[in-house]
Amino acid sequence: MINKYSNVPLYSQLKSLILEKIEGGEYSGDSQIPSEQELCEMYNISRPTVRQAIAELTNNGYLYKEKGKGTFVSKLKTRIDIKNYSGFTDSILDCQVPGEKKIISVSQLESEYTKRLEEIFNFPYNQKYSFVEVTYLSNYDSDTIALNVSYLPLNLFPTIIDDIKQKKPSYDILKGKYPLIPVRTKSVLEIVYTDQRDAQYLQIQTGQALIKIDNILYSKSGQVVEYIVSKYRADKCKLTFENSK
């Protein structure tokens, strides 16, 4: 219960009580919590106190609001274990059937956008290269947790657009191209914030934090064969680290 004589602020005590109920399963994912008025009556506290507690839990991703309906418990975050994380996770080339991903678009990039890609793929500067951009979503249960954009060079995979649209399996796409099979990745992680495009596909407001992971996939010979930018919803995912000396 709320201790009005404690040095701990009342709103902070209420936050802890609500979190205990979430972690204990009393308030399950997507279930509605009591209204502000009900919480006021349950704990004999003021509405501003309740509102501050709920606002902080909402900002921290534990709760979410639906206009005209009330406040609900967010589902548990999808766990991304860094110890086991592989940059192949969101790859087009390493997927069994790339065309079965939740693809938004597959298109050839205009030349003015390819300079940075030519640097990533380590292509000579004195030649022109074309790239394919594949945009797709990653889901967990019924939630969209990530927006992915994969870049593939057309000089290495000239039929990749049709291959994806025809839902060809990866072993067929890579048939006769065994030197291009990805075997190693390099990943870079950073925190970014949602722009309008991200917000549209991830169904969140602009300015929210995202976990951005850039993956570069290499073949056995060291050739870069795919570059992937994945943006995970920070309110839906958590990273776990485990190390030993």
Enumerate the H helices of 97-137 as residue ranges.
115-120
Angle between helices 10-23 and 47-59 (to 10 degrees): 50
Q: Evaluate if residue 235 carries a pLDDT over 90.
A: no
Domains and CATH numbers, the chain: 10-73 (1.10.10.10), 78-240 (3.40.1410.10)
Interhelix angle for 36-43 vs 47-59, to 10°?
120
Least confident piece of the model among 91-105, 153-167, 212-226, 229-243:
229-243
Which residue reads 């790339």 in tokens?
98
Helix H segments across 24-97?
36-43, 47-59
Of the candidate ranges 16-25, 108-117, 204-213, the one whose mean pLDDT is the lowest: 108-117
- DSSP 3-state assignment of 73? strand
Mean pLDDT of the chain: 87
CB 176 within 8 A of CB 182: no
pLDDT for position 115: 84
Q: What mean pLDDT do residues 58-63 have?
A: 82
pLDDT: which is higher, 169 or 62: 169
Starting at the edge strand that comes first in sequence, how are the strands of the sheet with 224-233 ordered? 102-108, 131-140, 143-153, 224-233, 209-219, 182-193
pLDDT band for position 203 (cuts 50, 70, 90):
confident
> What gap in Å lies between CA 206 and CA 193, rounded to an integer?
7
Residues 31/66, Cβ–Cβ less than 8 Å: no
Interval 134-143 mean pLDDT: 83
List, in order, residues 6 or more apart from 153 with CB less than 8 Å away. 117, 121, 123, 129, 130, 131, 132, 225
Query: Average pLDDT for residues 187-208, to the nearest whole number?
Result: 89
Q: Which position has the token pair 């934090």? A: 209
pLDDT at 1: 82
> How confident is the model at residue 23, as a pLDDT?
85
pLDDT higher than 60, residue 85: no
Q: 222-233: per-residue pLDDT in tens?
A: 999 999 999 988
Total-model pTM: 0.69
Residue written as token pair 């009591």: 34
Q: Give bridge partners of residue 210 from the DSSP assignment.
A: 192, 233
Residue pair 63/71 in contact by the 8 Å Cβ criterion: yes
Give the pLDDT of residue 168: 93
Least confident of 73-77, 135-139, 145-149, 220-224: 73-77
CA-closest candidate to residue 148, choices 77, 235, 80, 213: 213
